[in-house]
A and B are shown apart, each in its own frame.
Chain A
Amino acid sequence: GDSVTQMEGPVTLSEEAFLTINCTYTATGYPSLFWYVQYPGEGLQLLLKATKADDKGSNKGFEATYRKETTSFHLEKGSVQVSDSAVYFCALKQFGNQFYFGTGTSLTVIP
C-alpha cells in the first residue's frame, strides 16, 4: 500500500545552517506530495506541495522537489532560523481523500 518514510529525528541545527529532511514514498500511480509543519501545541499547517513529477514546491525559504525516479520529496532550507523549530511531516495523497503521513521529524534550531 501507499506509505511515506521520513528520516528520524530529532534534528538539532545552529541558526543559519543548511537543513535537509529526507522523505521517500511508496505509491502506485502519481500521488501529490506535501510537507506539513506543526509548531508546539498547534495543529498541522501546509508548508508546501507538489502535484506532479519534477514540480518544486516552495514557501518561507523551504523547498522540495518531486522526484519520481527516486520516489523522494526531500525538504531543504538554506539557512534555518530559531523560528523554524517545529515538527515536519511529509505526506502523500493518492486517490480520494486519504492522506498518508510520515512519522514526523522534530527540528530544533539553536541560536
Chain B
Amino acid sequence: GAVVSQHPSRVICKSGTSVKIECRSLDFQATTMFWYRQFPKQSLMLMATSNEGSKATYEQGVEKDKFLINHASLTLSTLTVTSAHPEDSSFYICSARDSGPGANVLTFGAGSRLTVL
C-alpha cells in the first residue's frame, strides 16, 4: 500500500532557530501533499496544501512567512518552521493522496513532534 515517510519524528530546538520537516511519498507520486498541525487533544488543522512545482496554498490564519513549504518533486514536500517559538511546539503531520487503486484516500506520515525551548 501507499506509504508516506516523515522525518524527523521528533525534534527539539532553541527559540529563534529554524526547523525543516520532510515528507516523502515512498511508492507513489503525489502532486499534492497536505500539512496539518495537531494540538493536544484536538483534531487536525489543515495548514496548507503543497503543490508540486508551484506555490503552496495556505489556510486562513496560517503565516506563510513562518511556515515555509516547498514541494520540489513529486515525492517530496518540506515544511520549514522559521524563527521557531515555544508556541510553535506541536505535532505536525503531512499527508498525500494516492491516486492509485486506493484513490481518494489520504495516506498520512507518522508525524513530527516539534518542541521549541
Point out the residue from A46, A51, A103, A104 that lies within 8 Å of B107, measured CB to CB: A46
- Which interface residue of A49, A99, A106 has the most chain B CB atoms within 10 A? A99
Interface size on B, residues (CB 8 A): 22
Chain A residues 53-111 with CB under 8 Å of chain B are 89, 93, 97-99, 101-104, 106
**Does A32 sit within 8 A of B, measured CB to CB?**
yes
B106 touches A46 (CB 8 A): yes
A97 touches B34 (CB 8 A): yes
Majority-rule SS of B interface residues:
strand
A44 touches B93 (CB 8 A): yes
**Does A25 sit within 8 A of B, measured CB to CB?**
no
B32 touches A103 (CB 8 A): no
CA distance A43 to B106 in the complex (A): 12
A101 touches B111 (CB 8 A): no
CA distance A46 to B4 in the complex (A): 13
**A101 with B43, Cβ < 8 A, contacts A43-B93, A43-B110 known:** yes
**Does B97 sit within 8 A of A, measured CB to CB?**
yes
Total number of A-B contacts with CB less than 8 angstroms? Answer: 49
Residues of B within 8 A of A49 (CB): 105
CA distance A62 to B9 in the complex (A): 29
Task: Using CB atoms, name the residue of chain B closest to A10.
Answer: B41
Task: Using CB atoms, name the residue of chain B closest to A6.
Answer: B43
Point out the residue from A93, A97, A104 that lies within 8 Å of B42, measured CB to CB: A104
Residues of B within 8 A of A97 (CB): 32, 34, 49, 97
**Does A45 sit within 8 A of B, measured CB to CB?**
yes
Question: Which positions in A face B, CB cutoff 8 Å?
Answer: 32, 34, 36, 41-46, 49, 51, 89, 93, 97-99, 101-104, 106
Known contacts A42-B111, A104-B42; 5 further A-B pairs (Cβ under 8 A): A43-B95, A43-B108, A49-B105, A93-B104, A102-B43
